[in-house]
Amino acid sequence: MLLVPYIFRRVLQLIPTFAFIIIVVFVLVRLLPGDPASAILGDRAIDANVDRINHELGLDQPVFVQFLVFVKSIATGNLGNSIVLKIPVADLIAQRMPVTLMLTVMAAVIALILALPLAFLAALQRDKLADNAIRGVFQVGLSMPVFYLGIILLTVFGAKLGWFPVGGYGEGFLDHVHHLILPALTLALSLAAILMRNLRAAIIGVVGAEYVDFARAKGLRPRLIMIRHVLRNALISTVTLFGLSIGTLLGGAVITETVFAIPGAGRLMIDSIYGRDYPVVQGMTLALAVCVSLTFLLTDIAQAWLDPRVAR
Amino acid sequence: MIPALEVRNLTTSFRTQNGWVKAVDNVGFEVMPGEVVGLVGESGSGKSVTLHSILRLVHAPGTVAGSVKWQGRDLLTMPERELRKVRGGEIAMIFQEPMTALNPVLPVGIQIEENLSAHTALDGRQRAARARELMDLVGIPEAARRLKDYPHQFSGGMRQRVMIAIALASGPKLLLADEPTTALDVTIQDQILKLILDLRDELQMGVVLVTHDLGVVAATCDRMAVMYAGRIVETGSVVDVFAEPHHAYTRGLLGSVPRGGAGRTLLLSIEGTPPGLASIPPGCSFNPRCTFATDICRKETPMLAEFAPGRLVACHHHREVAAAGSPVV
């Protein structure tokens, strides 16, 4: 099996990726307009206080030294303290990231559950009623802004019907799931629409492929042909799209967390950017980038597993 | 002898923007047990569609009419469940492009074994053993090791051998071969054709060989049917047709084959191009390209008729064509 050496090579590639992420995060945060001292002290700060704050944050040092300090802090896991909240950034990440990750995973799962069977149905009923209905409904889902969809779901299932809480995160795993279903659904619908369209097109393409005709000429059962020959090949492109979409999903979580008042990483990120809370923005960006890189790693592995030509 | 396969009035139509077109028009032929029949014609003449129609592999907006009798039963009307037993079990098919006809993401061993699971009662271990045997039979070196390999790890000729191994897995009585050597180098072509003939002798299997290569027909076939624009225009034994073509199209095809031995002369080519299926001319569909054509050819479609035992032609002037002699000496 070529998969194991491939995974090994692919994991090694994470080293330069992470190095690049560290540099970009460091530079981006310093390119943000405004500076933390005036954000903390307000417009009428006196120079002495500004200097004091800058000194506390290490911002009076040369950029090169600041970078080394940044790298060292990552290596030791001590990402500094939040300027605004006065608690360690590492603690904040540990507190907030799981919420966003759970929201993202739930959204991804819901999207898959919706997209896979419907894509299959639509492809097999191509241009018939079921296909047009499925595509029509998803088209609406796709063209609706996430926050608007969220508000509709909140109003109907949260406020009117009272099936789900209208905000917050709850206590305990099941309560978390209960709280996150509506926001996850909000996030999932547009992703499901994209996945469904992609997979439908892929299935239609594969059904016409010669190797599917050859499988039929072998006298195989239709179900075996569908699963082993059609679905597996069709999934190759959809898996890639799915992996890439996770990044977008994490970004979309920022808006969804705001609408549903969920204490996740997205909310924290926005608050920290407004507050010029450098250490938090740096830490969170880093954490998100690492999550996205790991998602891409998993995507590549899944793709290599589906398609042996990738792992060559 | 009773024909193993009897195709009658086979007509395959596809709907296009300009209405229905017939890719295969009223085609009929038969194959005796152990016989190799060549189906010859240019690209787009309906050869491949004929093969696909026999096993009902034509995709949905296309429709197939007529009858395909296989050992007394009509393949075109039998229930899907019974048809599945015939497909791959009694009648096997190999495709032109071994790269696109093998599933790229499955090891070839699985692709052989799934045929065995569909048509035999062998258990897993026996299937693996039989798969290795088949790879050996078609001449793939290190068969046991290569069962785990994927199609992209094989060369073109080896891939075609894999496809033949898959087709032969369950001991079919008839092999439909759709240009099995077109995508291969000439040296590999010979090996593959020889392999098919050896297997025919060994397994007493009938073969329908679709090709546009008359050299292949001469080397391998017992009888041949020439197709033009979806119709069969001439049939007969290979020896007879080569010696005395009765259709101007057959004559043209024979004239376009380079031969060794003779002096350096220009190859004959047939002027013009085959008609599109949506714009087949009235009368004989070959008339615009035919040097023998007269008024009747532009008005009346000639029917395929027997003029000598086992020799059929669809041409108003087949005597004149025959009198003009064969370009193959």
- Is residue B207 located within the same domain as residue B274? no
CB < 8 Å to A308, chain B: 105, 150, 152
Q: Is residue B134 part of a domain?
A: yes
Q: What's the total number of domains in chain A?
A: 2
The more confident residue out of A275 and B205 is B205
Q: Which of B329, B327, B328, B322 lies closest to B244, judged by CA? A: B322
> Quick one: pLDDT at residue B231?
93
- Is residue B114 located within the same domain as residue B217? yes
The more confident residue out of B269 and B143 is B143
Q: Is residue B329 part of a domain?
A: no
Nearest CB to A220; choose among B57, B93, B118: B118
- Is residue A127 located within the same domain as residue A187? yes
- Is residue B179 located within the same domain as residue B285? no
Residue where the block lists tokens 């369209």: A197
Q: Residue B329 pLDDT > 60, yes or no? A: no
Half-sphere exposure of A98 (CA within 13 A, CB side): 10
Q: What's the total number of domains in chain B?
A: 2
Of A49, A76, A103, at which residue does a domain stop?
Answer: A76
Structure tokens given for A8: 């090994």
Positions in chain A short of pLDDT 70: 1, 312
Q: Is residue B197 part of a domain?
A: yes
Nearest CB to B166; choose among A218, A236, A307: A218
Q: Residue B183 pLDDT > 80, yes or no? A: no
> Quick one: pLDDT at residue B263?
63
> Quick one: pLDDT at residue B316?
94
Of A20, A49, A76, at which residue does a domain stop?
Answer: A76
Interface touch A213/B101, C-beta < 8 Å: yes
- Is residue A71 located within the same domain as residue A176? no
Interface touch B102/A211, C-beta < 8 Å: yes
- Is residue A191 located within the same domain as residue A268? yes
- Is residue B198 located within the same domain as residue B70? yes
The more confident residue out of A167 and B3 is B3
> Quick one: pLDDT at residue B129?
93
Q: Is residue A311 part of a domain?
A: no
> Distance from B252 to chain A by nearest Cα, in Å?
32
Of A43, A76, A109, at which residue does a domain stop?
Answer: A76
- Is residue B70 located within the same domain as residue B197? yes
Interface touch A224/B114, C-beta < 8 Å: yes
3-state secondary structure of A107: helix
- Is residue B207 located within the same domain as residue B135? yes
- Is residue A181 located within the same domain as residue A56? no
- Is residue B215 located within the same domain as residue B303? no
* Class of residue A94 by CB neighbours under 10 A (exposed 0-12, middle 13-18, buried 19+): exposed
- What predicted TM-score, i.e. pTM, was given to this entire model? 0.81
CB < 8 Å to A232, chain B: 105-106
Interface touch A214/B95, C-beta < 8 Å: yes
Q: Residue B29 pLDDT > 90, yes or no? A: yes
Task: State the residue range of the domain holding B217.
Answer: 5-221
Task: Determine the Cα angle at A277 with ends A66 and A184, to 5°.
Answer: 120
Nearest CB to A308; choose among B100, B118, B150: B150
> Quick one: pLDDT at residue B10?
95
CB < 8 Å to B75, chain A: none
Q: Is residue A84 part of a domain?
A: no
CB < 8 Å to B89, chain A: 219
Region B96-105 average pLDDT: 89
- Is residue A156 located within the same domain as residue A67? no
Q: Exposure pattern of A146-177 as b/e (b: 16+ CB <10 Å)?
A: beebbeebbeebbeeeeebbebebeeeeeebe
Instruction: Give B222's pLDDT tier (boundaries 50, 70, 90).
Output: very high
- Is residue B178 located within the same domain as residue B315? no
Q: Is residue B328 part of a domain?
A: no
Q: Is residue A152 part of a domain?
A: yes
The more confident residue out of B152 and A47 is B152
CB < 8 Å to B103, chain A: 211, 214-215, 228-229, 233
Q: Residue B174 pLDDT > 90, yes or no? A: yes
Per residue in A167-201, pLDDT tens?
777 788 888 888 888 888 888 888 888 999 999 99
Interface touch B92/A215, C-beta < 8 Å: no
- Is residue B125 located within the same domain as residue B252? no
Instruction: Give B106's pLDDT tier (boundaries 50, 70, 90).
Output: very high
- Is residue A31 located within the same domain as residue A97? no
> Quick one: pLDDT at residue B265?
66
Instruction: Give B39's pLDDT tier (boundaries 50, 70, 90).
Output: very high
Per residue in B234-252, pLDDT tens?
999 999 999 999 999 999 8
> Quick one: pLDDT at residue B148?
92
Interface touch A307/B104, C-beta < 8 Å: yes
Kindly report which listed range (A39-43, A89-93, B63-67, B321-325) carries the lowest average pLDDT score. A39-43
Instruction: Give B259's pLDDT tier (boundaries 50, 70, 90).
Output: low
Q: Residue B264 pLDDT > 80, yes or no? A: no
Q: Is residue A312 part of a domain?
A: no
Contacts of A119 (CB under 8 A, 6+ apart): A195, A196, A197, A198, A199, A200, A203
> Quick one: pLDDT at residue A76?
87
Average pLDDT for chain B: 89
- Is residue A129 located within the same domain as residue A191? yes
Instruction: Give B149's pLDDT tier (boundaries 50, 70, 90).
Output: very high
CATH number, domain with residue B32: 3.40.50.300
CATH number, domain with residue A156: 1.10.3720.10
- Is residue B213 located within the same domain as residue B234? no
Q: Is residue A211 part of a domain?
A: yes
Task: State the residue range of the domain holding A23.
Answer: 3-76
Q: Residue B32 pLDDT > 90, yes or no? A: yes
- Is residue A163 located within the same domain as residue A213? yes
- Is residue B138 located within the same domain as residue B277? no
ipTM above 0.85, yes or no: yes
Q: Is residue B263 part of a domain?
A: no
- Is residue A49 located within the same domain as residue A100? no
- Is residue A65 located within the same domain as residue A106? no
Structure tokens given for A202: 């892929």
The more confident residue out of B84 and A74 is B84
Residue of A nearest to B172 (CA): A218
Please indicate if any CB of chain A lies within 8 Å of the CB of B15: no
Contacts of B84 (CB under 8 A, 6+ apart): A219, A220, A221, B118
> Distance from B125 to chain A by nearest Cα, in Å?
20
CB < 8 Å to B97, chain A: 210
Cα distance between residue B175 and residue B178, in whole Å: 10
